[in-house]
Amino acid sequence: MKKILIKVSLILTLSIASIAQADPIKSIEILGLNAISRGTVLSYLPVEVGDDYNKKTSAQIIRALYKTHFFKDIEVSQANQVLEIKLQENPHIKYVELLNYSDEVIEEESINLVLKDMSLSKGNIFNKRQLDKLISQLEANYINQGYYNIKITKNIEVDAQNRVG
């Protein structure tokens, strides 16, 4: 019985300590937005004004925002009950250009459809992993058709407006 009382009191003490460390959020500041709206970011946040903030909350916010693939850097902090989220957006795609391309092996229309399906077309948010995946698929397609020395290179240029082409 004594062990049970000790366990219960320990659990209650830890619960009260974690509640005491939580700070209510009175406002949310979002810094670093260019192309993505504040409303869009707020819609992905797992918290809102009035919720309690603690270390777990910070990790949940970062995880939720990284899942969107909109951002390449996210910092979360809180001071004086103001939640501050600093973001660095991934670039948007300005254009996609295929150079030294042979339409005899894979039709350009097919490649454009694949680009669109993989969200690698004009206006979408650039995702390097998706581009690498596309290049691997294209190389495999060429190899399957007997072009064993195929080499696809990428040239990514980021302009001052954080757009790639």
Instruction: Give residue-wise pLDDT tens across range 21-60.
Output: 678 999 999 999 988 999 999 999 999 999 999 889 999 9
* Residue 14, pLDDT above cutoff 60: no
CA distances from 18 to 4, 22, 135, 141, 154 (A): 21, 7, 48, 55, 49
Instruction: Using alpha carbons, select from 97, 96, 91 the residue that is nearest to residue 160.
Output: 91
Instruction: Give pLDDT, residue 161.
Output: 85
* Residue 155, pLDDT above cutoff 70: yes
Instruction: Give pLDDT, residue 70.
Output: 93
pLDDT in tens, 111-139: 888 888 888 888 888 888 889 998 998 88
- List helix spans (H) across 22-151: 38-44, 55-67, 108-117, 128-144
Phi, psi dihedrals of residue 13, rounded to the nearest 5°: -65, -45
Domains along the chain with CATH numbers: 20-89 (3.10.20.310), 92-164 (3.10.20.310)
CA distances from 47 to 21, 33, 57, 73, 74 (A): 17, 19, 8, 19, 16
Helix (H) or strand (E) holding 70: none
What's the rounded Cα separation, in Å, for the pair 89 and 15?
A: 37
Task: Give the helix, strand, coil percentages of the chain, each rounded to 5.
Answer: 40, 20, 40
What's the rounded Cα separation, in Å, for the pair 44 and 107?
A: 38
Task: Report residue 144 as tokens.
Answer: 């399957």
